Chain A
Amino acid sequence: MSWSFDDTRRHLGRVAFSALLFGAVVVLGQVPFGAPVEDAFLRLALRTTEARIEICRDRTHAELEALPAHMRQPQICDWHIVPHRLLVRRGAETVLDRVLEPAGARSDRPLAFDEQIALAPGTAELAISFEPAEAVIASASGALAVALAEAPRHAISRTIELQAGRIVLVRLDGDGGTLVIDG
């Protein structure tokens, strides 16, 4: 097989073109994305199963007699996931005021909230509370009212330094424990 200058030129052309294509792949595989971050962020990542309130009572003898033998559970329980109010203040300013409803088609999922709020950097006095919604407490009666009065209420206040590009994480320690601020 003879080798000509044209062959060499064609092969060099192919290599150059391939290098160009490969270069495009390299560039498109590492495209710089984003911009200087000027805000600080407050990430609220809360989840609790303690919003579930269970109210039980003993079945009467007549109720038990009316049931088939294998269904005679002595106690009957009813439970609710209580909507909670999440309130975040920075000094006198309200940053977030939201009532969290239980998720799921039967409203039976644990209360959860996961959002990131942009804040101006600087020193901030943060006050966060997470407690049963007032409207629920007001409308409750009987055993539910008693249970709600005993339901845990979470609150935390702290002065923190918010830095541009940094995230301050607010979470519940464990499964519905105390409020914690990280970062």
Chain B
Amino acid sequence: MNDIPLSSSATSRAHPAIVTRPGTAAGLDRWGWRPADWLFNRVFGSKWSPLYQSGVLAVTFLVVTLVTGLYLFLFYKVGDPYGSVAAIDRGLVGGFMRSVHRYAADLAMVAVALHALKMLVAGKTWGPRATTWISGILLVGTLLICGWTGLIMAWDVQGQLVAIEGARIFDLLPIFSEPIGRSFARAEGVPESFFFMNLFLHLAVPLGLLALFWLHVTRVARPCLRPPRGIERYALGILVAGAILVPVPLPPEADLLSVPAEVPLDLFYAFWLPVARNVSPGVHLALWSIAVVGLFSVPWWWRPRGFEIAASHVDEGSCTGCTTCYQDCPYDAINMVDREVPSRASAKVARVDPALCVSCGICSGSCAPMGVGPPGRTGREQLRAANAFLEAAALRPSDVVLVACGNGLGTAPAVLDAAGGSIVPYETGCSGSVHTSVIELLLRRGAGGVFLLTCPGRDCLYREGPKWLHERVYNDREADLRDRVDKRRVRIASFSRTEAAAAASALAAFCDEVAALGEKPVEHEVKIDLECEVPVELVV
């Protein structure tokens, strides 16, 4: 192994990963998220890990609840809620549909909770992402309302408890002219109008959910709405098999003149009932208020202190109006606007909206003339850093440079030590921000090979880094790796933070392949940044 010290940030880091999360998130990551990440990657592999598909799995399960809910709606009667649910439950298809409906709703909540936790751990909650976080919390709220109204619809003992305890909370709010709790203070049962209103909410709230969902994904350029087909089929298969093997039981009917001794609680939605039974409604309402305010204010208190996002900027003199950065930006933060200073290069020029930019740097990697990117991380500045790195490193022809995304596995000692061979670590920000000219420079100035270690596609902190890197290196996307570069000496591999051993093994294999290719000539004077300059005749 090369003797470059890992701590030598001046030489081993091109542009370090940006701090996006507060210090407390690191503890949550270390003791909560990462062990789960490790476990799921061990079982499923990072490509199939449900933890990386939490958002889209939530959508999948919600679609299932919608479809099964429409079926159940056909047989539900507001005049006889429990009787109609019991009749549905007795039928073979009805019982199955009800079980799928309930389990899908529970799984949707699990997926939503995992999704929110993932965002918290990654610090994807503040700055330009605040709208997404807040709309996500609103989505959770509407999902809970759907769940509560669903539990009440069956009008079993659990539904009764949810309705009565929920009414005790709502009756503290000065929003109803008459207490809702009075609906349950009747010997003859709850009026039909209550169930009609409940059914209306259960059907109408999902429509609000759709509007909020649009708001939730509107800040990203290409929202992913479905999991990979294999994972989708697998998840649905487990759901269907579970509903057949373990049908959801129907608890006893609600009785307003009885206090049930034991109620089967759905903790995914009725998690608050144990609290409600043990504290006064006022205290319970206060706890809810604290939770709601706390969650909505996350963008203001769950963020790194003293750190502001340095938005990308465009060097309009270099911009050729090719629109690649505009297309590649995962957050729609770049627009093509009319030039203020005319140029023969193009009528339009890229312009970054700082309010939307998360400083991922993916635009840096997309720009052939290296005219866009966050401060200090444009293609030109990456080349400067790479040159400094090369001066210090004095690569040998057999050396493989490990270009690793610092947001993921990075140049972890676990990878370097296990891989063996002549590996020189070079840590960067998101892999999608790495300009292909850096890869070319590393190879032309002596590296035997370049191993690009990225995060798994669905675990990228900036959504699309590995995808765009792959397109530029292998599929001739604008700012592509030139044909003059021997692509056998370049390898892109995706591994999660908990797959150091597998990454090391892939790296070692690549080192062997590079060694088998033999040595290649070394160029000492490479001026790639000048080669990519916009021709003078195009600029006024």
A-B contact count (CB 8 A): 104
CB of A152 within 8 Å of the partner chain: no
Residue from A17, A33, A36 within 8 A of B274 (CB atoms): A33
Are B257's CB and A167's CB within 8 A? yes
Chain B positions 399-435 with a Cβ under 8 Å from a chain A Cβ: none
Stretch at the interface among A23-31, A70-78, A87-95, A134-142: A23-31
Are B185's CB and A112's CB within 8 A? no
Are A22's CB and B242's CB within 8 A? yes
With known contacts A22-B238, A114-B179, A31–B264 Cβ distance under 8 A:
yes
**A93 nearest CB across to chain B (Å):** 22
CB of A34 within 8 Å of the partner chain: yes
Residue from B43, B257, B259, B267 within 8 A of A31 (CB atoms): B267
CB of A18 within 8 Å of the partner chain: yes
Cα-based distance from A22 to B264 in the complex (angstroms): 17
With known contacts A25-B110, A33-B274, A166–B185 Cβ distance under 8 A:
no
Q: How many interface residues does chain A have, given as a range? A: 20 to 34
With known contacts A47-B182, A167-B258, A183-B257, A33–B43 Cβ distance under 8 A:
no
Chain B positions 237-252 with a Cβ under 8 Å from a chain A Cβ: 238-239, 242, 246, 248-249
Q: A41: nearest residue on chain B (CB-CB)? A: B259
Cα-based distance from A91 to B454 in the complex (angstroms): 78
Are A25's CB and B107's CB within 8 A? yes
Are A30's CB and B261's CB within 8 A? no
**B277 nearest CB across to chain A (Å):** 8
| Residues of A that sit less than 8 Å from B by CB | 13-14, 17-19, 22, 25-26, 28-37, 41, 43, 45, 47, 109, 112, 114, 165-169, 171, 182-183
With contacts A112-B178, A112-B179, A167-B258 known, what are 9 further pairs, Cβ within 8 A? A14-B234, A18-B238, A28-B267, A29-B103, A30-B248, A31-B264, A165-B261, A169-B257, A182-B187
Are B242's CB and A30's CB within 8 A? no
CB of B256 within 8 Å of the partner chain: yes
8 contacts between A and B (CB under 8 A): A25-B110, A25-B268, A29-B106, A33-B265, A33-B273, A166-B257, A168-B257, A171-B186
Chain B residue contacts of A167, Cβ below 8 A? 256-259
With known contacts A25-B106, A25-B107, A26-B103, A34–B258 Cβ distance under 8 A:
no
Interface of A is mostly: mixed
Are A34's CB and B268's CB within 8 A? no
Q: Mark B218-247, 1 if CB is under 8 A from A, else 0.
A: 000000000000000010001100100010
Chain A residue contacts of B179, Cβ below 8 A? 47, 112, 114
Are A30's CB and B257's CB within 8 A? no
Cα-based distance from A25 to B256 in the complex (angstroms): 29
Cα-based distance from A154 to B262 in the complex (angstroms): 36
With known contacts A43-B185, A45-B182, A114-B181, A29–B266 Cβ distance under 8 A:
yes
Most chain B CB atoms below 10 A, which of A19, A33, A47: A33
Residue from B182, B257, B268 within 8 A of A29 (CB atoms): B268
Chain B residue contacts of A109, Cβ below 8 A? 177
Chain A residue contacts of B32, Cβ below 8 A? none
Q: B246: nearest residue on chain A (CB-CB)? A: A26
Residue from B185, B248, B257, B262 within 8 A of A114 (CB atoms): B185
Are B102's CB and A112's CB within 8 A? no
CB of B93 within 8 Å of the partner chain: no
Q: B177: nearest residue on chain A (CB-CB)? A: A109
Chain A residue contacts of B258, Cβ below 8 A? 165-167
Cα-based distance from A32 to B267 in the complex (angstroms): 10
Q: B184: nearest residue on chain A (CB-CB)? A: A45
Chain B positions 177-200 with a Cβ under 8 Å from a chain A Cβ: 177-179, 181-182, 185-187
Chain A residue contacts of B261, Cβ below 8 A? 34-37, 165
Cα-based distance from A35 to B181 in the complex (angstroms): 23
The 3 lowest CB-CB distance pairs between A and B, nearest first, are A45-B185, A182-B187, A33-B265
CB of B300 within 8 Å of the partner chain: no
Cα-based distance from A183 to B186 in the complex (angstroms): 10
Cα-based distance from A28 to B248 in the complex (angstroms): 12
Cα-based distance from A32 to B265 in the complex (angstroms): 6
CB of B292 within 8 Å of the partner chain: no
Chain A residue contacts of B262, Cβ below 8 A? 32-35
**B433 nearest CB across to chain A (Å):** 34
CB of B208 within 8 Å of the partner chain: no
Cα-based distance from A25 to B104 in the complex (angstroms): 10
Chain B residue contacts of A37, Cβ below 8 A? 259-261
Q: A109: nearest residue on chain B (CB-CB)? A: B177
Cα-based distance from A44 to B44 in the complex (angstroms): 56
Cα-based distance from A19 to B242 in the complex (angstroms): 8
Residue from B43, B239, B266 within 8 A of A30 (CB atoms): B266
Q: A33: nearest residue on chain B (CB-CB)? A: B265
Cα-based distance from A182 to B261 in the complex (angstroms): 21
Chain B positions 87-131 with a Cβ under 8 Å from a chain A Cβ: 102-103, 106-107, 110
CB of B173 within 8 Å of the partner chain: no
Cα-based distance from A166 to B256 in the complex (angstroms): 9
Chain A residue contacts of B44, Cβ below 8 A? 14, 17
